[in-house]
């Protein structure tokens, strides 16, 4: 009986090691997905500012990649929940990983929205004030997303706590953009309306970055 109990103990220890390795692998996969999405956000900014319709079409065509990555993370997360019944910290980690993957997939969708707006622009060049405004918002959205992934990778509450202030800066830029829009010429109206939508897309990307930061708090403290 003692030998049997000892054998079960060894198996349990080995199973836990395997479980934590799977968790580490899933964590690395979500961080990799975050790095990939950050690149796409910056590319979406560049496409719109330069009215690069060919590159925009590439972003649209590549959207399925992020759908598959999210699905893979969710499938693995649910498998771990069902087979390993993790508790406490490990449970929070699995849940946080699935949530972050969802946020990242939604960010990728917003990049597709920017790309579609680029393809449908009725012009080949934006006015300077439009280009400057969107370029700044896109850069800030890219930066806050990059920092949110860094905070998640390092599990750093300090870095995650700074994201709200960065998001506020994006919101202020968006409000300033509307004031500039009011001074635009009437013949720019059709283009300006599309640019307003793109500004909103980048604002929402920044919001998702803040949400990723909140997952760091959930992971470490059990609450956002």
Q: pLDDT digit string (tens) for 88-115?
A: 889 999 999 999 999 999 999 999 999 9
Q: Which domain holds residue 10?
A: 2-221
Q: What is the pLDDT of residue 65?
A: 96
Tokens of 166: 């960065």
Place of tokens 């893979």: 72
Q: pLDDT digit string (tens) for 12-42?
A: 666 667 888 999 999 999 999 999 999 999 9
Tokens of 46: 């560049």
Question: Please, which residues have CB within 8 angstroms of residue 76's CB and are 6 or more apart in sequence?
Answer: 22, 26
Place of tokens 């470490």: 220
CA distance 47 to 61: 14
Say what the pTM is.
0.86
Look at the chain and report how many structural domains it folds into.
1
CA distance 100 to 30: 7
Using 50, 70 and 90 to split pLDDT, how confident is the model at 183? Answer: low
pLDDT at 11 exceeding the cut of 70: no
Please report, for the domain that includes residue 147, its CATH number.
Answer: 1.20.58.220
What's the Cα-to-Cα distance from 174 to each of 147, 167, 186, 200, rounded to whole Å?
A: 20, 11, 20, 7
Residues in the chain: 224
Chain-centroid distance of CA 24 in Å reads 20
Question: Please, which residues have CB within 8 angstroms of residue 185's CB and are 6 or more apart in sequence?
Answer: none
């Amino acid at each position: 009986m003692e030998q049997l109990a000892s054998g079960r103990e060894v198996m349990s220890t080995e199973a836990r090691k395997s479980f934590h390795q799977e968790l580490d692998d899933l964590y690395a996969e979500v961080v990799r997905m975050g790095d990939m999405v950050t690149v796409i956000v910056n590319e979406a900014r560049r496409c719109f500012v330069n009215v690069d319709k060919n590159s925009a079409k590439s972003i649209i065509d590549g959207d399925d990649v992020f759908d598959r990555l999210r699905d893979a993370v969710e499938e693995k997360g649910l498998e771990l929940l069902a087979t390993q019944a993790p508790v406490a910290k490990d449970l929070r980690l699995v849940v946080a990983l699935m949530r972050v993957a969802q946020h990242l997939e939604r960010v990728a969708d917003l990049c597709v929205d920017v790309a579609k707006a680029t393809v449908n622009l009725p012009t080949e060049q934006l006015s300077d004030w439009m280009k400057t405004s969107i370029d700044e918002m896109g850069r800030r959205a890219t930066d806050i997303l990059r920092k949110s992934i860094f905070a998640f990778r390092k599990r750093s509450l300090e870095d995650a706590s700074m994201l709200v202030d960065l998001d506020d800066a994006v919101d202020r830029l968006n409000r300033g953009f509307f004031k500039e829009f009011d001074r635009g010429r009437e013949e720019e109206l059709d283009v300006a309306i599309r640019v307003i939508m793109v500004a909103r897309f980048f604002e929402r990307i920044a919001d998702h970055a803040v949400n990723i930061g909140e997952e760091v708090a959930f992971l470490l403290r059990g609450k956002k």
